[in-house]
Amino acid sequence: MTPTLPTLLVLDADPPPRLGRLTGRARIEHTDAAGLAGRLPAADVLLVWDFTSHAVRRAWPGTGPRPRWVHTASAGVDHLMCPELAVSDTVVTNARGIFDQPIAEYVAALVLAVAKDLPRTLELQRERTWRHRETRRVAGTRACVIGSGPIGRAIARTLKALDVTTALVGRVPRTGIHGPGDLDRLISRADWVISAAPLTEQTYGMFDTRRFGVMQPSAVFVNVGRGGLVDEDALADALRRRWIAGAALDVFAAEPLGEESPLWGLPGLIVSPHMSGDTVGWRDELGSQFVELYERWAAGRPLRNVVDKKRGYVPGH
């Protein structure tokens, strides 16, 4: 008798994942957000390939069986977590490890671009204007990186290579990592305040009017974590009042950022479309990572990148 293959349900995005290595090892089915709720009860595994969708959070509380394992092709899990999933026996894994160095490089590029006034240089070139200026030196400046996971640690390593004195802040203080109690003191001295934390109940809106007021006037704020970490109105006000020197946002509370958003025209703000971790071939890396995890799951071996569903991230790193 032929054994029944596990059903792998993929919440699709374009382009779809390459899962050819799983041919004959899984019954692969695809769905969009509208069809997810009706397909969940028959799935053994759910691959959230459309990691910008909130469909899982909406569909999960329904009736019937639920997949034993959910994998999201993203570092964050806030888009899919709901109370019913958090208390279930379903294992949740994420794409930890794929985006660490690309995001670190992107942050370093932003720091250098701001310090060397590259946006203005490009504007002047388009205007055919020759205007000599002085720029800031990066070596010897201070950075505070909020988020001590693999992405935050990669950012810290990369900035240290530029001779930036870097402090790392995590949820729990330990060797080489400061705790939340040190955050205000560290950002008050930092030239670069870099947000790379997961979005949880504790971190939602953590960068607010008070926090921007704590920063020094020469500070630049960078967010490559989650849009919900930042009170965008408070940031806009801080930039208009010149409380801080500038900011760069790669993530936003609502994406894509609407053309009517005032953020586009704020002085000193660089806007990028959630692309800091997306390098050439990144989707293939995500697909390969999932296939390797599936092979472990099918063989009964422990999964890597298991998320603590109550904390909202992979612990112990």
Does residue 138 have a pLDDT over 90?
yes
Write the pLDDT tens digit of every residue in 272-313.
Answer: 999 999 999 999 999 999 999 999 999 999 999 999 999 999
Catalytic residue, candidates 29, 84, 255, 295: 255
Helix, strand, coil content of the chain in percent (nearest 5): 30, 15, 50
Average pLDDT over residues 158-164: 98
The percentage of residues in the chain with a pLDDT greater than 70, rounded to a whole number, is: 98
Q: Which of 54, 96, 89 is nearest to 71 (CA)?
A: 96
Write the pLDDT tens digit of every residue in 176-219.
Answer: 999 999 999 999 999 999 999 999 999 999 999 999 999 999 99
What pLDDT, on the 0 to 100 scale, is given for residue 304?
A: 96
Q: Is 226 an active-site residue? A: yes
Catalytic residue, candidates 39, 71, 171, 226: 226
Does residue 265 have a pLDDT over 70?
yes
What pLDDT, on the 0 to 100 scale, is given for residue 1?
A: 45
Q: Which of 229, 222, 169 is nearest to 199 (CA)?
A: 229
Q: Is 255 an active-site residue? A: yes
Q: How many Å apart are CA 121 and CA 24, to the nearest integer?
A: 55
What pLDDT, on the 0 to 100 scale, is given for residue 317?
A: 53
Average pLDDT over residues 227-242: 98
Does residue 261 have a pLDDT over 70?
yes
Does residue 224 have a pLDDT over 90?
yes
CA 265 to chain centre: 24
CB 160 within 8 A of CB 186: no
Catalytic residue, candidates 274, 283, 304, 311: 274
Average pLDDT over residues 143-160: 97
Does residue 3 have a pLDDT over 80?
no
Residue 80's region, left for phi above 0, alpha for psi from -120 to 50, else beta, is: alpha
Strands 165-169 and 142-146 come out as: parallel
Q: Which of 158, 233, 238, 143 is nearest to 195 (CA)?
A: 143
Write the pLDDT tens digit of every residue in 92-129.
Answer: 999 999 999 999 999 999 999 999 999 999 999 999 99
Write the pLDDT tens digit of every residue in 39-63.
Answer: 999 999 999 999 999 999 999 998 9
